[in-house]
Structure formats: structure tokens, C-alpha cells
Amino acid sequence: MQTIDNFNFKDKKALIRVDYNVPLDSYYQITDTNRIDATLPTIRKILGDGGSVILMSHLGRPKGGPEEKFSLKHLLPYLSEQLKQPVKFADDCIGQSAKDLAAGLKPGEVLLLENLRFYKEEEKGDEGFAQKLASLGDIYVNDAFGTAHRAHASTAIIANYFPQAKCFGYVMAEEVIHLDKVLKKATHPFTAILGGAKISGKIEVISHLMDKVDNLIIGGGMMFTFIKAIGGEVGNSLVEDELLEISRNIVEGAKTMGVNLYLPVDAIIADAFSNDANIKICNAYDIPDTWMGLDIGPNTLQKFEHVIEQSSTILWNGPMGVFEMNNFEEGTKKIAEAIAKATENGAFSLVGGGDSVAAINKYELADKISYVSTGGGAMLEYIEGKELPGVKAING
């Protein structure tokens, strides 16, 4: 694997694709700096070698032209503060101003380019656009795992212009190493915990995990499609009727493959999708018509915790309930704590996906998890066994 450690950046301009798609509040203040913080070691290594850095990223979903709320200039104060030096800014990612600023960059200096997605060519993977970006730097570094599953101009196509000078930054390298550790070299028992709203989008993930895991724990909204598929009454709970048969096949498949599939036995149910709704604990297979399950119940929790605590490798994606509402957060919180405890006792744990990472941060457990992935969609596609375009572009 080619990483920045295989290069000496002295007097070189490193063109780094980062994932600075961070949330901003109405005052353009960054409300979660994780994605920026993650890239600082990569930037520091290059500056330490005596190189200079050109950062390129997307932010939000602009409609194909500049929009103030999606300008990367809002990140400059934080980035400058973290790097303890002023960061330059090109208000266009290609064009004369970007060229001039890049050309004038001295060793030790950092330049941030304006939002790549102000050009529709970025997401189209346009060759000409990739070439213009490529002309700005000497070595291409991909450190944007969050967009590695997209074959965009700056994440994949651009690598063609650096056949001998392309590599992963530390964020990408760490993601690939840790995901491979779980998917290819897991110590057993290996437990995967899947939750979140829906099964759709996760079928491939489940199928691919089936021949790897010993235990598969299912919670969240998706549990009700499984429960209905095997004859349970789920009331008004979230169900994907078109996936009932697939869910039934998964349950049967688990039996033939010797995978222990753990579905909830009880649930916290509510008479409305609201934190103020009436709630009670109920058998997960016998939910009254007008009620819906919004979290796993206490007996389920006990069982799940026990399985997690016995595991050597743990992979978690998706909350166990509607953890954004206090009355339905217990399942997610306790599962996060059980994973932290297992990790303390020597298990290797990997948590990924926007909501599970948000939960880990909400309960201040990030430093008790072996590895927290920065990419949701990219991580799921990697687990599905797909070769991510951003990874292939460097390895190929």
C-alpha cells in the first residue's frame, strides 16, 4: 500500500483530496470538527518534510454553482488555528487564481481550494476538470475516505495524472487497514451489530458478512421487517414489506451457515413517533395495532450485551432505536457501552456510519472504541466487498 510515508515531500506540492464536508450552523461555525481533525497528521507530515499542501474538498450539495453557505472559506479560521499558521484560500478550485496561488506556494505553506462541487464536472468525473486540478500539484494524496466510494474527478480520475506520484494519506490508510483487519483477519467470535432505520441498502452488507461472522445482532427499525417476516405482529412499526421474503431468506441462511442470528425479543413501544408519546415495554412479536417499536427492550438488551461481551471482534453500524429522542435511546446507549467494555477487555471494535458514530460521540465513548470509521456509505460499500474507486485509483 502506497502511503505518504513512502514519499519525501521536500520542495513538493502535495495535492490532497480531503473530506471536509463538515456541518456548519447558521453562523457558519463548524459544529463537528472530526473530519478536519482527522487530516491534520497527514498535513503535518508533508509540511514537516519541507513540502507544501494544497487541500481540495467538497462541502454540502451545491446545485452546480457557487453558494455562500457551501463556501470552504468558512473553514479557514479553524484550519489556521489548528495548523498554527495562516492558510491561504483560492476562491475558485481551478482557473487563474488557483494556478497563481498554487504556483507561488512555498515549502511549509498551505492553500485551501474553494468547493469542488461548485463545478458539476466534479461529480461527473470529468477528465478535463481532473486535469486542471492535477496541474496544481506534484504528488496526489487521497485522504478522503468518506467519498472513496465515488468515482469523482478529484477522488479517482485525477490519479491518472500521477502514475508514479499518488498515495493514501493517513486517514485512508487507517480506514483500509482497520476494515481489512475486521473483514479479512478477524479473531473469533466475530459479532456484527446492525441497526438503523431500514434494511434496504444493507442487504448486500448482511449477505457479505454472513460467511464471516459468528453472531449477527439486528436492532433498530430494520428488526421489525425480520420479525414480521417470521410471523410476528409488529403493529405500526417501520416495515419494508417488499423485503419480507429476503429477510426470511436471511433468517434461513443464517441457520444453514451456522450464524447465530439474534433478533430482539422485546421492544419499547409508543403510540406515536414522539418523545412525548405514551410508552411501554412489549413482546417484540406481539405489538398492538396502533403502537410502534422505537427501541429494543430490556430482555433483548441483556441478551445482546452478553453476546457482545463474549466477542473478540465487533463491528457496529446503525442505532438500536430512535436514539435522538431520550425515551428511545437506552438500547443504543447500552450497546455502545457494552462494545466499549468488550474493547477494554481486549476485543477489537470498529464502529462506522453517521448515526452510530454520532451515538458514540454523544455518550463520549470514542476513545474506548478500537477504531471509529469516518465514512458511512464508503464503509458499507467496503464491507459489501466492493473495490472503492478512490482506493482502486491509488492501488491500480
Among 24, 40, 165, 197, the residue binding ligand AMP under the rule CB under 6 A is 197
Gap between the Cα atoms of 206 and 227, Å rounded: 16
Residue 35 falls in the annotated catalytic set: yes
| CB of 98 or CB of 380, closer to ligand AMP | 380
- 198 binds ligand AMP, rule: CB under 6 A: yes
Of 138-146, 256-264, 279-287, 314-322: span binding ligand AMP (CB under 6 A): 314-322
Q: Which run of H or E residues covers position 23?
A: none
Q: Which of residues 67-86 bind ligand AMP (CB under 6 A)?
A: none
| CB of 318 or CB of 390, closer to ligand AMP | 318
User: Which DSSP symbol is given to 144?
Assistant: -
Of 101-109, 111-119, 195-203, 208-216: span binding ligand AMP (CB under 6 A): 195-203
Which residue number places its CB atom closest to ligand AMP? 196
- 263 binds ligand AMP, rule: CB under 6 A: no
| CB of 353 or CB of 375, closer to ligand AMP | 353
User: Of the residues 99, 198, 303, 386, which is catalytic?
Assistant: 198
Strand partners, 140: 15, 166
Residue 377 falls in the annotated catalytic set: yes
B/e letters for 69-95, b = 16+ CB within 10 Å, e = fewer, are ebbbebbeebbbebeeeebbbbbbbbe
- 324 binds ligand AMP, rule: CB under 6 A: yes
242 burial via Cβ count (<10 Å: 0-12, 13-18, 19+): exposed
Contacting residues for 29 by C-beta, under 8 A, at least 6 apart: none
Residue 354 falls in the annotated catalytic set: yes
Query: Cβ–Cβ contacts within 10 Å for residue 149, how many?
Result: 23
Among 62, 232, 297, 353, the residue binding ligand AMP under the rule CB under 6 A is 353
Among 109, 121, 174, 355, the residue binding ligand AMP under the rule CB under 6 A is 355
User: Of the residues 253, 303, 377, 392, which is catalytic?
Assistant: 377
- 362 binds ligand AMP, rule: CB under 6 A: no
Among 93, 182, 294, 338, the residue binding ligand AMP under the rule CB under 6 A is 294
Contacting residues for 284 by C-beta, under 8 A, at least 6 apart: 223, 227, 232, 234, 263, 264, 265, 266, 267, 293, 296, 297, 300
Number of residues that bind ligand AMP (CB under 6 A): 15
- 196 binds ligand AMP, rule: CB under 6 A: yes
- 243 binds ligand AMP, rule: CB under 6 A: no
Query: Cis peptide leading into 189, omega within 30 of 0?
Result: yes
**3-state SS class at 260:** strand
Among 51, 62, 137, 221, the residue binding ligand AMP under the rule CB under 6 A is 221
Q: Retrieve residue 95's grid coordinates.
A: 482557473
Report long-range pairs for 178-182 (Cβ below 8 Å, ≥24 apart). 178/350, 178/370, 178/371, 178/373, 179/350, 179/373, 179/379, 179/382, 179/383, 181/348, 181/350, 182/313, 182/315, 182/348, 182/350
Give least dist CB 51 to ligand AMP, A: 39
User: Of the residues 12, 13, 35, 228, which is catalytic?
Assistant: 35
Give least dist CB 130 to ligand AMP, A: 31
Residue 198 falls in the annotated catalytic set: yes
Residues near ligand AMP, by CB under 6 A? 196-198, 220-221, 238, 293-294, 318-319, 321-322, 324, 353, 355
